[in-house]
Structure 1
């Protein structure tokens, strides 16, 4: 059974963890799963198992992190929460530097790419907030909804607040 990640509850669904017979470079074991996104480290690391992420040993061994702490620091999130997100939680692949969202003085849960139905239900305000651009128009949103595909460019990532349950989105593109 995979470890549980509070802030990334479905890492197999999001593609951050996949089945693999690779040997973890941290614990030297083959556990059947491997992390697929980046570890930010001065060392070149190819294979890390989810257990070494969950217990913090991979971040410690490689003096690395799995996501950027700046967005959470900027939002005033407590250092112990930032540590869990950046050093004990699988990150995710994005077009640019990933941005981990927060709400209610806590990091949000990452739920991967927004679904087509998520995007179809977006209001203009939600869409503008995701892109951090209040100049986007209803016409642009309508066109975007027609062509959006999960995993595409631009990407829209879905986040859920573990405190209040609100759903938030963040857009990323090349």
Structure 2
């Protein structure tokens, strides 16, 4: 399974426990649970192949919501020669691709998929102290974590207190993530080593 905005979806996304009928190809497969998708059309299951190839474009249904306003701001900053209409069009294209072809993250709260470097970030795993240590090359793990908290959450986040909630052990997969009441979702830029963190709690 290969998706632009998600790393290792077979590990980090919860597929249904049993094979079900994909509503697009009508084959019995291990599918994503589509019950919580956004949009007007109700869908129960979609297989990874149909999601990756854009079959959701056929329906009023999407898997997540992108931070469109922030994406437009970043694109304008990085491309000052583009007109507002060109920025809007580029942002809409990227947002549609994200929302129609990305496996669903299982979260407690609804929040917008974060942007980094003029594009949507790629989800690379659940935050833990070992993971931030692995990602930190120019600073210590806690400083990297604190700097990575997404702007939309920064005002409501006490970084020192949150660091205490970051798991001591690596959160290896979706099943393991259910052991925690606070989770940290780590996204990496498609264009650099910059990361951002979204935190979510029950």
- Please list the CA deviations of residues 91-117 of structure 1 after superposition, one character each: whole Å capped at 9, or x if unmatched: 201111132111111111012321341
- Correspondent of 1:72 among 68, 85, 92: 68
SS at match of 2:196: strand
Q: Which runs of 5+ in 2 are unaligned?
A: 76-90, 134-140, 172-176
Instruction: Check 1:127–1:162 CA distance in 2 against 1; reply closer, same or farther (3 A cut).
Output: closer
Q: CA deviation at 1:147?
A: 7.0
Alignment partners' CA distance in 1, 2:110 and 2:120: 17
Following the alignment from structure 1 to structure 2, what is the Cα–Cα distance between the partners of residues 8 and 20? 22
Q: Number of residue pairs matched?
A: 168
Provide the rounded CA distance (Å) in 2 between the counterparts of 1:14 and 1:39.
17
2:146: which partner in 1? Answer: 125
Aligned twin of 2:182: 154
In 1, the alpha carbon distance for the partners of 2:27 and 2:167 equals 45
CA RMSD of aligned residues (A): 2.8
2:199 aligned partner: 171
Seen in structure 2, the aligned counterparts of structure 1 residues 66 and 142 have a Cα distance that, compared at 3 Å, is closer
Provide the secondary structure at the position in 2 that maps to 1:12: helix
Q: Which residue of 1 aligns with 2:41?
A: 43
Evaluate the alpha carbon distance shift between residue 115 and residue 142 of structure 1 in structure 2; reply closer, same or farther with a 3 A threshold. closer
Q: Is the 8 A contact 1:128 1:136 kept in 2?
A: no
Instruction: Tell me if 1:97 matches 2:121.
Output: no
Structure 1 runs (4+) greater than 3 angstroms displaced: 16-20, 127-131, 145-150
Q: Which runs of 5+ in 1 are unaligned?
A: none
User: For the Cα contact (< 8 Å) 1:128–1:134, is it kept in 2?
Assistant: no
